[in-house]
Amino acid sequence: MHPLKRLVLGVVLMTILLVAVAFALPQHITVARSNIINAPESDVYPYVNSLKRFQEWSPWAARDPETKYSFSGPEEGKGARMEWNSDHPEVGWGIQEIVESEENSYVRVSLDFGEMGKANASYQLKPSGAGTRVVWLFETNVGNNPVRRWMGLMFERWIGADYEEGLEKLKKVVEASR
Per-residue pLDDT tens for 53-88? 999 999 998 889 899 999 999 999 999 999 999 999
How far is the first Cα of the chain from the last one, in angstroms, to the nearest whole number?
Answer: 76
Q: Judge whether 115 lies within some domain.
A: yes
**pTM for the predicted model, two decimal places:** 0.86
The reply to whether 76 falls in a domain is yes
Question: CA 163, CA 136: separation in Å to the nearest integer?
Answer: 7
CATH number at residue 122: 3.30.530.20
**pLDDT tens digits, 124-149:** 999 999 999 999 999 999 888 888 88
15 lies in a domain?
no
Per the structure, the complete domain to which residue 114 belongs is given by 27-176
Specify if 167 maps to a domain.
yes
Residue 116 forms part of a structural domain: yes
Domain assignment present for residue 107? The answer is: yes
Classify residue 6: in a domain, yes or no. Answer: no
**Is 44 strand, coil or helix?**
helix
